[in-house]
């Protein structure tokens, strides 16, 4: 759903009249609340929030605090920092805003966005992008009604798209090219075996000679596709109809190129295509990045799921999702530190919220979330990566890593809490879940309403402010409502069919059975 410029301005006139520092200051009473009788879960959740609070820092050149990556990574990276801060926005809206503005404020005159901003330097030696900053900026601006951020993001991300097409389309294909390992953030990955980490002289416009470069990269191209879709939505919100149509057209053009040139149907996999027009046949988490931007249709996704992403021999390991398929000959064991050669990465887990529900794998998403939360509770040091088979954390020197802490927090809310999804509210009701033992959660919505879930021995009661939205007894199910609490549908997100009793505002009991990954429309 889109909104126009007038609605943005109407929603934010009072807020934008305040000084920026006043606007950004977090309000303690608006902080989300999660309280459970499960002390093991509560301890891990509270530790995660403490890690995140400790990773809010002020970096060089930008005066406002941002969420850094943490552990040995003392900075913020374009591939992940804005997305992580977006997940954290209900706790620190000022940090979410600044974590985007950092990249826009440090943008070069030719349109290049920095790959990172660290305590030691601001990096321009690679493009290092995964989740499109245009997409996270649009979501943040839309959710908060921030017209100023919308204008800034639209200008900056438009210029960034132009830079990429000038300097990362040297083969003239219309796809985005990878020049070095750090372009995709795949440190120590067999995907980039033998290729230098950075571009020559830390100049992202140049590629090293002698490595069959540049490559056409499906994930980098998918990032641009997702960015263009967001730019189209921003343009519509700004009343720029012609711009929106142009971005829509360009987004569809690169999507078709990804599918036509970089997808190998017989393998059900996307691969890089090197400068000699040979596929780099390493099955890695490129797949998750392509589906993360919704490049493929449902039919293609189902093939990817059957053969790769949902295949226990490949990516659907006991602790999903490895960075290289378990059955790929290049999988690296023993698993070293900072390895995109097989370890299941917290960053990949955190990004699953961008695609698993979209492609109607909500039940499997629940399994993944449970497994990651269990691994973290066994070892709540919040490190970077786990062994995808055993669930053991494998990097001793990475304690205090923001993505791992965000996985614990975000997954808790996706499992037993409430979340905003576009213009909807998703009430995730799992009365029998370990995190639902005498649990109460409360979240201030973007419309200023207080959404609460209160669990007891039989079920869960949902309120929006003082108005009861629903009562659910028995099985687990997601209730989807609009922003004002009007029920729209139920979604099955458990592997087995769920029998439950639903009472909406009229109090009339409805006995229902909801199967996995299916919707039941509701009428009031």
DSSP per-residue letters across 68-92: --BTTB-EEETTTHHHHHHHTTTT-
pLDDT digits (tens, 9 = 90+) for 324-377: 999 999 999 999 999 999 999 999 999 999 999 999 999 999 999 999 999 999
Residue written as tokens 């922003």?
Answer: 483
Segments in the chain below pLDDT 50:
1-28
For residues 137 and 266, state if they share a domain: yes
**How far from the centroid of its chain's Cα atoms is residue 76's Cα?**
16
For residues 17 and 54, state if they share a domain: yes
Among candidate residues 364, 388, 416, the one where a domain is terminated: 416
Per DSSP, the three-state class of 442 is strand
Beta-ladder partners of 421: 424
CATH (domain of 337): 1.50.10.10
Residue written as tokens 């997940």?
Answer: 87
For residues 173 and 301, state if they share a domain: yes
Overall size of the chain counted in residues? 524
For residues 308 and 191, state if they share a domain: yes
Q: Judge contact between 55 and 87, C-beta under 8 A.
A: no
For residues 317 and 451, state if they share a domain: no
Report the domain count for the chain: 2
Per DSSP, the three-state class of 103 is helix
Per DSSP, the three-state class of 29 is helix
Per DSSP, the three-state class of 375 is helix
For residues 129 and 261, state if they share a domain: yes
For residues 74 and 131, state if they share a domain: yes
pLDDT at 182: 98
Q: Judge contact between 182 and 126, C-beta under 8 A.
A: yes
For residues 316 and 293, state if they share a domain: yes
Among candidate residues 372, 399, 416, the one where a domain is terminated: 416
Distance CA 239, CA 3 (A): 9
* Residue 271 DSSP label: -
HSE-CB of 422 using CA atoms within 13 angstroms: 11
Cα angle 420-426-430, degrees, rounded to a multiple of 5: 135
pLDDT digits (tens, 9 = 90+) for 280-328: 999 999 999 999 999 999 999 999 999 999 999 999 999 999 999 999 9
Q: How does 399-437 read in b/e, with b if 16+ C-beta sit within 10 Å?
A: bbbbbbbbbbbbbbbbbbbbbbeeeebbbbbbbebbbbb
Nearest to 481 by CA among 469, 496, 499, 471: 469
For residues 405 and 447, state if they share a domain: no
pLDDT at 523: 76
**What contacts 372, CB < 8 A, 6 or more positions away?**
319, 346, 349, 386, 407, 408, 411
**What contacts 413, CB < 8 A, 6 or more positions away?**
32, 34, 419, 428, 441, 443
- Boundaries of domain holding 343: 5-416
Structure tokens at 518: 């299916």
For residues 299 and 375, state if they share a domain: yes
Is the bond into 210 cis (omega within 30 degrees of 0)?
no
Among candidate residues 400, 416, 432, the one where a domain is terminated: 416
Distance CA 266, CA 235 (A): 38
For residues 176 and 60, state if they share a domain: yes
For residues 396 and 431, state if they share a domain: no
């Amino acid at each position: 759903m889109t909104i126009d410029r007038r609605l943005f301005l109407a929603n934010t006139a009072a807020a934008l009249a305040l000084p920026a520092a006043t606007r950004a200051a977090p309000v303690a009473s608006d902080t989300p609340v999660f309280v459970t009788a499960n002390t093991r879960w509560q301890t891990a959740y509270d530790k995660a929030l403490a890690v995140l609070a400790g990773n809010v820092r002020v970096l060089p050149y930008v005066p406002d605090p941002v969420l850094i990556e943490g552990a040995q990574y003392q900075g913020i990276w374009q591939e992940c920092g804005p997305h992580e801060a977006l997940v954290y926005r209900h706790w620190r809206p000022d940090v979410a805003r600044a974590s985007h503005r950092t990249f826009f404020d440090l943008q070069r005159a030719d349109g290049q966005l920095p790959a990172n901003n660290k305590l030691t330097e601001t990096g321009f030696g690679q493009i290092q992008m995964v989740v499109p900053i245009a997409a996270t900026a649009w979501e943040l601006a839309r959710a908060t009604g921030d017209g100023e951020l919308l204008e800034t993001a639209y200008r900056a991300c438009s210029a960034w798209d132009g830079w990429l097409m000038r300097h990362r389309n040297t083969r003239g294909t219309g796809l985005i090219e990878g020049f070095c390992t750090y372009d995709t953030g795949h440190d120590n990955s067999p995907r980039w075996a033998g290729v230098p980490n950075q571009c020559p002289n830390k100049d992202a416009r140049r590629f090293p000679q002698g490595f069959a470069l540049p490559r056409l990269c499906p994930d980098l191209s998918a990032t641009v596709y997702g960015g263009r879709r967001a730019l189209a939505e921003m343009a519509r919100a700004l009343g720029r109809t012609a711009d929106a149509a142009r971005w829509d057209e360009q987004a569809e053009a690169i999507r078709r190129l990804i599918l036509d040139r970089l997808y190998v149907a017989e393998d059900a996999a996307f691969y890089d295509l090197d400068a000699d027009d040979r596929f780099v046949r390493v099955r890695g988490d490129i797949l998750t990045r392509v589906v993360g931007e919704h490049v493929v249709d449902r039919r293609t996704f189902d093939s990817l799921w059957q053969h790769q992403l949902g295949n226990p021999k490949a990516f659907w390991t006991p602790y999903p999702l490895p960075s290289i398929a378990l059955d790929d000959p290049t999988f690296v064991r023993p698993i070293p530190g900072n390895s995109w050669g097989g370890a299941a990465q917290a960053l990949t887990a955190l990004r699953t919220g961008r695609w698993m529900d979209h492609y109607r794998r909500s039940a499997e998403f629940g399994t993944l979330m449970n497994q990651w939360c269990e691994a973290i509770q066994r070892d709540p040091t919040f490190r970077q990566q786990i062994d995808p088979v055993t669930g053991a954390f494998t990097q001793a020197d990475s304690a205090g890593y923001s993505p791992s802490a965000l996985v614990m927090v975000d997954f808790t809310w996706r499992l037993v809490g409430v979340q905003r999804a576009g213009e909807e509210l998703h009430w995730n009701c799992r009365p029998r879940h370990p995190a639902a033992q005498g649990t109460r959660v409360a979240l201030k919505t973007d419309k200023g309403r207080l959404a609460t879930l209160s669990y007891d021995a039989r079920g869960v009661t949902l309120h929006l402010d003082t108005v009861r939205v629903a009562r659910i007894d028995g099985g687990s199910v997601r209730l989807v409502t609009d922003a004002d609490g009007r029920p729209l549908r139920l979604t099955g997100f458990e592997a087995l069919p769920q029998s439950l009793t639903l009472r909406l505002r009229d109090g009339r009991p409805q006995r229902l059975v909801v199967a996995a990954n299916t919707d039941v429309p509701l009428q009031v």
